[in-house]
Structure 1
Amino acid sequence: MSVKYHLYSSEGCHLCEQALKLCMVVLNIQQLDIIDIVNDEGLVELYGVHIPVLERMSDNTKLFWPFSQQDIEKLVK
């Protein structure tokens, strides 16, 4: 069973692009859903000033930017 993760981001966000690159070192593409918050007012309200945010869906644990590859590895373990 592969654990699913959400990366909350927005198109054109350079920090989000950096976070995605870090995520792809640790996770495979089937484990990661990239959620663009721009079309969801609730997500904008929750994460607008915090993106990128990586969330482990099994228990809703979140990493708020800035996070490192090591932080992602700890989240995955």
Structure 2
Amino acid sequence: MEKVIFYTKENCSLCDSAEALLGMFQQDYHFEIEKRDIYTNDEWLESYHLSIPVIEINGVQLNCEQIDYNSVETTLNVNLQKK
């Protein structure tokens, strides 16, 4: 099964919304969500602290300014198979 990497942190309302959006798309696409708390890894913290949530699908990253229903659906559609 394909893996979608989700960079997040605790107490982040944007992260909660993005995670809910990914959950909706799991009904139509084959993937599992790998949550990565940026505060558990110095490299992630340095890379993503200003842009979380970040969704990574087969190397394509969407940051907090790019995440919306259409962009996530388009990226999933291009990179993953539908159920």
Which range, TM-score by smaller chain?
0.7 to 0.9
**CA distance in structure 1 between the aligned counterparts of 2:52 and 2:9, rounded to whole angstroms:** 8
Over alpha carbons, which structure has the higher Rg?
A: 2
Asked if structure 2 preserves the Cα contact closer than 8 Å seen for 1:23 and 1:69, the reply is no
Could you state the TM-score of these two structures normalised by the residue count of structure 2?
A: 0.80
1:1-77 aligned within 5 A? 2-27=1-26, 31-56=32-57, 58=58, 60-66=59-65, 67-77=67-77
Q: Calculate the aligned-residue CA RMSD, in Å.
A: 1.7
Q: Which runs of 5+ in 2 are unaligned?
A: 78-83
| Residue-pair matches, total | 74
Q: Matched residues, percent identical?
A: 25
Could you state the TM-score of these two structures normalised by the residue count of structure 1?
A: 0.86
Q: Which runs of 5+ in 1 are unaligned?
A: none
Runs of 4+ aligned residues of structure 1 deviating over 3 Å after TM superposition are: none
* Secondary structure at the counterpart of residue 72 of structure 2: helix
CA apart distance, 1:71: 1.1
